Structure 1
Amino acid sequence: MLRSGFRRFVPARGRGWASRLLDAALWLALWLPPASEAALSSYGRAKVVAFAAAPLLAVAVAVGRRWPLAALGVPVALGLALSAKLFTPLYWPALAVFGFLAGCRMAAARPVLWFLGSVAVAGLPLCVVAERDLWAWPGLLLTLLGAAGLPWLLGRYRRQHAELARLGWRLADRMEREQRVVAERTRYRERARIAGDMHDSLGHELTLIAVRAAALEVDATLTPDQQRAAGELRAAAGTATARLREIIGVLRADDEVADDPVAAPPGESAETLVERARASGLDITLERRGETAGLPPMAALAVHRVLQEGLTNAAKHAPGAAVRVRLVRTGKPPAVTLTVLNSPPAAAPLPGVVSGGSGLVGLDERVRLAGGVLRAGPAPDGGFELIAELPATAAPPPRAAGDVSRLTASGRELTRARRRVRRQLTQAVVAPVAALAGILLLMLPVSLASSYFSVLDRGAYDRLTVGTPREEVTPRLPLFTRDGPPDGAPAPPRGQDCVHYSTSLMSADAYRLCFVRDRLVSKSVVEHGP
C-alpha cells in the first residue's frame, strides 16, 4: 500500500530502488526492537531468537507482497520461540504490520482465519507442555487478537474502502458514457421530431400541389397537352408524398408510443418464440400452467417483450446455459407470472457484448404501464432470473415509477459493493468483540482446571529436599503452576526463579519453590495477605 502511494512521486526508472529502500526501512524498523533487547539482555534465548529474526524478517518483507500469510507466520513463530504465550512486545510491531498488510493484500479472509485459529488451538498444548501454565493460553489468545487480529481487520477494511473508491470511479466513468449515449439518443429523437415536422409541413404542401394539379387536369380551358402535364404533376406529387412518408417513418424514434396499445405480432406466441430460440441452439424448457389467452393487450404485449428480452439476454450473456421458462396463470387475483431463469453460463459472454441494463429498464417501464411488477437479479444458484407479474384482467392504474438502479449493471454492482462494505464494517466491530467474549468465557474452565491441577500435596511438599536438581523435583509437582503468588506475598529473592503451587483447592495460600541454576534452593509457605 505504501509502495503504491510512493509510486506517484518516483520516476519509472527509479521505482525498483525506491521499493528496495522501503523494504529495507521496514525490515530495519521491525528488527530494531529485538536487536536492542538482545544487546542489553543477558538472556541466552532472547539473543538467539534476535539473531535468527534478522534473516527471517528480511525474508518476510521480501515475500510479503506475494505471500502475505507466510510473512505473517514469521513474527508468530519468533514470538512463540521466545514465549509460548506470545507475550513478547519485541515482536508485536512485526505482528501488527504483517497482519495489516495481510488484510490489505489478501482478498480472501478464510486463509487468515484458519491460520490464526490453528495458532490459537496449537497454543493450548504448547502452553501446557512448555510453560506448564494453563493461564498462558488466554494470554496467547489475547495477544493474537490484539497484535494480529485487529490490524488484519483494519487492513481488510482499508482494502475494501480502496476497492469501493475504484468502483466509484468506474461507475462515474460508466455514468459519463451513459450520459453521452442519452445525449446522442436525445439528439436522434429531436431529429426524428424535426423529420416528423418536415413530413407534416411538406406533406401538406405536396397535397395542396396535387389538389391544384388535379383541378388543372380537368380544366376545360386548357389544351390536352396542358391537361396531361397537370396529370403528370399530380401523380408526381402523390408519389413524392408516399416516398416522404416511407423515409420519415424510418427516421422516427423506435420507442415512440402509439395512441392505441399495439398487440403482439400475429402468430408470436410463447411457444413460437421458444421454438425459434431453440432452433438457434438454446437449451430451453417451457412450462405452462393455466390458460394465458385473452390477456389485456398491454399485458399480452408485455409478456411477449419480457420473454423475448429474457431469451435474448440469455443468448448474449450466458451462452451454453440452460434456460427455463415458466408461464403461470393464477385465479385469485387473476394474474399471469412469467419467469425466465438461466443457469450459470457454460462459456464466457460473447465478445463485444456490453450491457448497461437499458433493456431491463425499458421492460420495467412497459410492465409498470401494464399494471405489473418486474423483478430481475442473480439467482441463488448463480444464474440470472427475470420475473414479470401482470394482471390477467383489466389493467389497474400503473404503479408509480420506482428506482430502476437494481436493473442496471452499474446499480447492481454498486449494491453489491455497499453490502460488502457493510459486512466488512460489521466484521470489524463484531469479530473482535465476539473473540474477546469467547476468551472471557474460556477463562472460567481454564480457571477451574488450573486451580484443580495446581494443588501440591502436603506430603509431596514435605518430601522435597533443598538442593535436589530440578529434573528430579519436576515429576513430583502438579501439572500446572498457580496463577501467580497470593496477594500481598513478598517478592521472590533476587536471582532466583520461583514458582507457586496451591496448598488446597479452595485455599488462597501457596507453596513457593525457588530454583537457582536448575537446583532447588528454598521452599516456603506463602500466606494470603490482608
Structure 2
Amino acid sequence: MTTTGDSHSAAVNGPWWWERRRSAVLDVGLALASAAECGAEGITFAGDTGVPTGVGVAFGVLAGASLVLRRRWPIAVVLISIAITPAQMGIFLTVVGLYTLAASELPRRIIGSLAGMSLVGTLIVTLVRTRQDMESGELGFAEGFIPFIAITTSIGLTAPPILLGLYVGARRRLMESLRERADSLERELQLLAERAEERAEWARNEERTRIAREMHDVVAHRVSLMVVHAAALQAVARKDPEKAVKNAALVGDMGRQALTELREMLGVLRTGESRPAVGGRHGSESDVVPLAAVGFAAAAAASRAVDEDGPCLEEIEELVGQSRAAGMAVDLSVEGESRAYAADVEQTAYRVVQEALTNVHKHAAGAKTYVRLAHRGAEIAMQVENEPPPEAGPGDARLPSGGNGLVGMKERVTALGGVFVSGPTDAGGFRVSAVLPAAA
C-alpha cells in the first residue's frame, strides 16, 4: 500500500525498493511462476523458429523473471510482455503486469496507451494464430468465428486486470486520503487541546489578577482609613475624649464596611466553585469536560456579579466624606451633567479615586487634596491631586505600601480602553489622572 510521510518512513523495512519483506517475497514468487511459464513456452518458441531449445528456454525465463520489477518499473514489465506476445508466451506476465500498471500512481493516459498496445498486440497475435491453426486443421471453426475468438481473447486478457487494478488503486488512494485526514484531524484536535489549555491558564491568571485588584482596593482603602483613625484616636485619647469616641466609632464603621465587602466578594467567589462529579470516584473521564465548562461558566458569572454589585459614581461623594472624616482636607468638584455609565466603567472610576485617596493617606497624610470629575460626551475623566504633605508629626500613621496600587489602577483603566497617567507635580505633590470611554 502506498504510504506517505512518517507512515511511509515507518513502513519501509524491506530490501531495495520493496516497502515490506512480504511484498518482496510475493514478487519473487510471482516472478518464479512467470519464469517457469515463459520457460516452458520457450520450448515451443524454439521449435517454431528453429533456434536452439536452450536459447528459447533462457529467453523465456529472462522475460518471465522481469515480473520481479513490477513495483519498481511497471511500464518496463508491460512493454516486455507486449514484446514477447508474438512469441506466444507471457500470458501470466501480461495479466500481472497490466494489473500492477493500472493500480500504480501513473497518469491515466499512460495506462490507457499501454493497455491499448497490449490489447492490439494480443488481438493481432490471436487473430494470426487462430487463422494458422484453422488452415492447418487443428481448429474446426468457421472462418467467420476468427474475429470473434481474437476479440474475446484479447479483451479477456486485458480488461479484467486493468479494471481490477484501477479499482484497487482507487481504493488504495481513498484509504490513504482517509488516513491522512484522520492524522490531520488528530493533529488539529491536539493543537486545539493545547490552545484550550493555554487559554484556560490565561483565564485563570486574569481572574487571579482581577481578584487581587479587588481585594487590594477593598482592604487597602478601608484598613488605611482605620489606621489613620486609630492614629488620631491615639493622639487625642487623653486630650479630647469626645473626639476619641467619635474616631473609635468611625474605626468600627470602617471595619464593618470592610468585612461586609470582603464577605460579599468571598460569597461571590464561592458561587464559582464547581460541583463534585456524580458517582464519586467512579465517574468517567468524560465528566471532566462538562465540569470544567460548568466551572468556567460559574467563574464568568461570578465575575459579572462582582462587576454588577461593585461601587458606582454616586458613592464617590461618600468616599470623599470618609476621607474628610479621617482628617484629610478634600475638595470635590464635578463638571458636566452626571449620568449613568456601564457598571464596569463606574466601578473602575470609583476604584481609581479610592486608590488615589488611599495613597494620599499613606504617603501624604494631612496634604490638601483635590478630586475632580468631568462628564464629557463620550468619556468620563477623573483626577486626584494632592499638595505637598506637611512634616510628619507624632500622629503619623506610617502606613505600609506594597507598590501595587498604581499598577492595579493602570490595569483597570487600560483594560477598558482608557488612558491612565500618574506622577509627581511641579509643586511637590502627586497627581493621578484617568480617562475612561463612556461605553466599555
How high is the TM-score relative to the length of structure 1? 0.34
Write 1 or 2 for the structure with the bigger share of helix: 2
How high is the TM-score relative to the length of structure 2? 0.40
